[in-house]
């Protein structure tokens, strides 16, 4: 069954919710800036046993908050954003359960199998999450790097998903075009994932209420989990409460 997965998105040293497609070197369109630090959310997720959540550092200036989250819940969170073969092992040592990579896997906008092998040898397949966050072009989706601004030639297709699944423990896939808009999930992308993925997979982007959890569960036949950000009450949203998400997970774990 589809599970709710929590998140902590960090931008300029603050916990924020942003519109994904707006993120660039100069800033981003922001839906919410929290008065609380990353430790507050890590403790909240820990106390409610909301496992498999991700901490994403969007740009520079977030290292202290990442470390604070990991210290608060060792082995309870995955970490992504600026991860490469040189620093990946340090995040595991600091308490991350997994490291998440995207941009590092590309050289000159081309997917690098050499880099994938290198980081896999550093952390082990069992600690590696491949972030295949993407943008839609015509009727296909292509992995987007560089704060989701650079659309690569690597398609999120059945072939890609099946091939990469043998090299990692999970997939994380943000639909960057709808991220933060609270206008509904990308149903076609979720359906593609549901009929293809063979490993745990988390989708993020556009979720706005409990009906979207039900929809992801239906479209993916329970094979894809869902992250909800801007619509969640703990991030200033009014579409769904964390309590509803906890009850959903508990009900579907019975």
Whole-number Å distance between alpha carbons of 36 and 15: 7
Can you count the helices (H) and strands (E) in the chain? 8, 16
Would you state the pLDDT for residue 20? Answer: 56
Q: The domain 4-253: what is its CATH number?
A: 3.20.20.70
For the segment 104-133, what is each residue's pLDDT rounded down to a tens digit? Answer: 999 988 999 999 999 999 999 999 999 999
Q: 76 with 42: CB under 8 angstroms?
A: yes
CA distance 201 to 224: 5
pLDDT at 17: 81
The pLDDT of residue 108 is 86
Q: How far, in Å, CA of 43 to CA of 69, rounded?
A: 8
Residue 154 has a pLDDT of 96
Residue 16: predicted pLDDT? 87
Determine the pLDDT at residue 58: 86
Q: Quote the pLDDT of residue 146.
A: 81
Residue ranges of the chain whose pLDDT lies below 70: 19-28, 180-181, 253-254
Residue 229: name the closest of 13, 20, 1, 14 by CA. 20
Residue 24: the pLDDT is: 59
Q: 99: which strand partners?
A: 79, 128
Q: What is the pLDDT of residue 37?
A: 97
At 112 the pLDDT is 97
Do 139 and 96 touch, CB atoms closer than 8 A?
no
In this structure, the number of other CB atoms found within 10 A of the CB of residue 27 comes to 12
């Amino acid at each position: 069954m589809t599970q709710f997965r929590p998140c902590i998105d960090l931008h300029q040293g603050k916990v924020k919710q942003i519109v994904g497609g707006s993120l660039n070197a100069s800033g981003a369109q922001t839906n919410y800036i929290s008065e609380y630090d990353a430790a507050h959310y890590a403790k909240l997720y820990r106390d409610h046993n909301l496992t498999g959540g991700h901490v994403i550092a969007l740009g520079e200036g977030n290292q202290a908050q990442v470390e604070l989250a990991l210290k608060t819940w060792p082995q309870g969170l995955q970490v992504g954003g600026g991860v490469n073969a040189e620093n990946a092992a340090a995040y595991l040592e600091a308490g991350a359960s997994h490291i998440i990579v995207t941009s590092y896997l590309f050289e000159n906008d081309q997917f690098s199998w050499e880099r994938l092998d290198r980081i896999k040898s550093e952390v082990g397949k069992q600690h590696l999450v491949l972030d295949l966050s993407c943008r839609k072009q015509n009727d296909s989706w292509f992995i987007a790097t560089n704060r989701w601004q650079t659309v690569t030639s690597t398609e999120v297709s059945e072939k890609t998903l099946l091939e990469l699944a043998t090299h990692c423990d999970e997939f994380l896939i943000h639909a960057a075009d709808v991220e933060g808009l609270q206008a509904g999930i990308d149903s076609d992308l979720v359906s593609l994932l549901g009929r293809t993925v063979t490993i745990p997979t988390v989708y993020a982007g556009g979720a706005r209420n409990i009906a979207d959890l039900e929809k992801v569960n239906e479209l993916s036949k329970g094979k894809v989990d869902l992250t909800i950000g801007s619509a969640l009450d703990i991030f200033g949203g009014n579409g769904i409460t964390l309590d509803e998400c906890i009850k959903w997970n508990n009900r579907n774990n019975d």
